[in-house]
Structure formats: C-alpha cells, structure tokens
Structure 1
C-alpha cells in the first residue's frame, strides 16, 4: 500500500510517527508533500519517508491520500489534484466542517471519501479520532484507514451528522483541558507551590482521573461523589465551581465550537 500526505504539520506528523513506530508501513511506502523545501527537508530528516514538492505527484502515487492541510486551503488543493484522483483511491480528510458531499462536489466526481477528526494527543499516542465514510468505501477499506489512525490512539466510527460534535468533544477539547491545567497550576502557585511542580500535580491529577473514567466504567458523577466527603474540602471547591457557572460555561463553549464547525 502507498500512503500519501498532502501537508505535514502536527497531525500528519503524529500519524506518521505512529505508523512508523507500529511498523504498519515501510518508509518507502509513504510519500508526503509540503509547501516549502525547508519543511520538506524537516520531514525527510524526521521520518525518512519519500517526499515531493508537487502535490500532484503525491496524489498520483497514493492508494490512500490524506489531505492534512488547514481547511481554508482545501478548495485550492482539491482544484490542483482532482484530475489526478481515480475512483480506486481513498481520499481522507481531516478538516472540520467539510462534509463528504462538499468534498465530492469539489472533486466533481464520485470518489471513495473518508472524513476523520483527530486531536493533538495523537502526538503522544493518546489521541481519539472520529471517522465516517461515504457509501463507496467498503468495510475492508475503512478498516485500512482505521488501522492507520489507531497507530496514534483510539478510533471510533460514527455517523457523519456527529462529526461536528466530535470537533467539540475531542478535536478542540485539549485546549479546554490545557486551560484548566493552567488555571489549577496558577492557583497552586498563588498558594506557594513552585510552578513546575504545580503543572505536574495538576496534569497527573487529570490524567489519572481520565483513566478512572475509562477503566472503571463508572459514571463521572459517581466518581466525583467518591471524592466529595460530607463537609469536606472537595465539596466546597465543587460548590464554588457550580456557583461560578463552571458546568454551564463548558457546555456553552462546546456548543459554540459546534456552531463554528458547522459554518466552516
């Protein structure tokens, strides 16, 4: 199988790192293009894969082609490569807001199309990616794509109408979590803890809490109640968070994220 990437930023880099670490493909089975000779050199040095300055060359040589550029460049890239794409290839989009119908309309012909929404924890092998496909992608072909995506985290196949929700709950949510970690650390620093230590305590607490949800299968509310002793310190902190609208702020932020994704 020949796998191609048009664009090789953070998400493509995370996928490449996982693919090579898991030995899913050999380096000479992967080809990538970037916008400049300098970034192309960086990709070669980092991953040792085949590279090209021509997007058309990558499109022509790929059985599975990942469009890993920012959403605002999709129309330009598709216009450039669409004549090179055949109905036997699988085109994978990682752009929010670009529906399967939108992609097919821009290519101007029926193609095998997969949409996915990864997130930046893929950089450390802990990503989760939502995936959907059009009717031309067969089960075995979808599994090929998912196998690639699973090299840097979890993968969930779902209906396309949920893809904008995936953007809010996983694609964008690392930023909310980083903001929370930063706020927790700031508070710890205000109470006298050195900053590096504060970041470590806050980050490990969130990592461990997430593992408890995933590994115990218990409802998050039940796990929260386990920490909240009657008249204790934790329930007092929870009371203040609720008073300040913490839960509502998170919900409204995620709903705003979905609205933005739908409008892209």
Structure 2
C-alpha cells in the first residue's frame, strides 16, 4: 500500500516525549497515519523500531517524506537539527516543536520562508495518556494546521491553545510541574519511613492519597482552598502540619521556584 506524504508524521528526536507521542498515537489506533522516527542514537532507534514497528530514517530523509514534523530534541540541539532538515521541508509542511524556550520566530527564521510552525509545551504524564500540553501557532500556522497539531497531542492527554507569550509560564507550571509533585511525594514517603512505616506501605499511602486528592480537584470543581479547609479541623493534626509549612514559607518557596523556571525558559529563548 502506498502511503501519501500527507498521512506521514516524522518524530525527530526519539527521547522521552518523542516516545510518549509515538506510543500514544499507536495506542489510540491512528492507523491512517504513518510514523517515521529519527534520533542521533543508533541504539535508541533500533530499540524503538523493534518496540513499535516503525521506520527509522536520518532526520533529513524523514523530513522529506512527512507532512508534519515533530521536533522533539533538547533546546540546545534544536539549531543543528533545523539546519540539517531545512532543505527537506516542503511548502505545506507543518513543524511542531516540543523544545522549551525555542520560539516560533526562531524556527521560522531558520526554516524556508512561510513555513508553518506550532510551538508546544507538553509534560511527561503523556507517557500514561494523562499529559497536559499547551500549543501556540506561529505567524504562518493557520487554524487547520493548529487543529492538526492539537489532534496529535490529544492522543496523550489534554491540550489548550494559548498565545505564545504565555508559554514560559506554561513551561514553569505544567511542563516542569510533575517534578515538583514527585519532589513532594518523595518527602512524604520519607516522612512515613521516618515515622516507622515500611517504605512500600508509605509509598502506597502517599501515591493513593495524591491520586485521590487530584481526582477530587478534577471531579468536584471546588477551589483547592475549599477542599483543604474540609480536611483542616480547628486545632487538629492537619492544622499543626500546615502551620509548620507556613512557618517554613513553603508556599512562598513554590512561587519563587516557579518564577525561576519561567525565567529559565525565557533565557533559553534568548539563547542563554
């Protein structure tokens, strides 16, 4: 069967996010789409080729055969990749970038005049189809192409479309956000161990508590303050714990940390 270029997507950079998208598309039954992959690591390519039964090609060859290119390399590797594929990008190609801090304007300047670019900030829960992505269109990306980019990302979770000037904040909140959650979970598990529980039991308690709390936030629609107050009896154990967190300025530390992440995203965009 001959597969048209219009039905072909190339993932250039088969790291964590590249594989998350690939596996999400295949689980979602996107049989009408042919996926090509490319990566600098031959071992990585061989592994993914065997695991997902997809074709592996050099980046420029993959770009020449696909209507949609997903650039999933690290920000510091983006310039070299774009220079490698620029000559293979067609007039109607949609380029979707997953790299933090890399602007659509930067990519448009490196690619052929008029190339359609969409910038995306995903996160790692895409690996379990619970990702949160934000997508922003570049100067030449029309509504249909934005919908194409959105559809690709919806295979792995939820997607919102935002103006690009919000993406540094998105990077700091949802892009880096899973790491903050894992950091807190680590601390809670260690606290359980400190209090004498087996690590496996402490882990089960913390993970299910996190899952339950997140489900309450999503399904009730209540503000987190309301839900927190429902747990915080006057003079009780929760209030004692929250008092310690406030004394250690944990809330302020989170605000400062997320601001730092947003600043770093902006610095990446500036090439720093």
How far is the alpha carbon of 1:201 from its aligned partner?
A: 1.2
8 Å Cα contact 2:89/2:112 also seen in 1 = no
How far is the alpha carbon of 1:41 from its aligned partner?
A: 0.9
Distance 1:86 1:26 in 2: 21
Corresponding position of 1:6: 12
Corresponding position of 1:252: 256
Q: Which moved more, 1:208-217 or 1:241-250?
A: 208-217
Of 92, 95, 109, which residue of structure 1 is paired with 2:96? 92
Of 16, 23, 27, which residue of structure 2 is paired with 1:21? 27
How far is the alpha carbon of 1:108 from its aligned partner?
A: 5.1
Please give the TM-score of this superposition, normalised by the length of structure 1. Answer: 0.96
Distance 1:71 1:109 in 2: 22
8 Å Cα contact 1:20/1:26 also seen in 2 = no
SS class of match (2:155): helix
8 Å Cα contact 2:217/2:223 also seen in 1 = yes
Corresponding position of 2:46: 41
Corresponding position of 2:138: 134
Q: Which moved more, 1:227-236 or 1:17-26?
A: 17-26
Aligned pairs (5 A) from 1:154-169: 154-169=158-173
Distance 1:12 1:125 in 2: 13
* Deviations 1:216-258, CA, capped at 9 Å, x for gaps: 1111101100100111111111111111111001000000000
CA RMSD of aligned residues (A): 1.1
Corresponding position of 2:212: 208
Is 1:67 the equivalent of 2:67? no
Corresponding position of 1:82: 86
How far is the alpha carbon of 1:106 from its aligned partner?
A: 1.9
Distance 2:255 2:207 in 1: 22
How far is the alpha carbon of 1:136 from its aligned partner?
A: 2.1
Is 1:114 the equivalent of 2:99? no
Corresponding position of 1:223: 227
Which runs of 5 or more residues in structure 2 are unaligned? 1-6
How far is the alpha carbon of 1:93 from its aligned partner?
A: 0.3
Please give the TM-score of this superposition, normalised by the length of structure 2. Answer: 0.94
Distance 1:39 1:26 in 2: 25
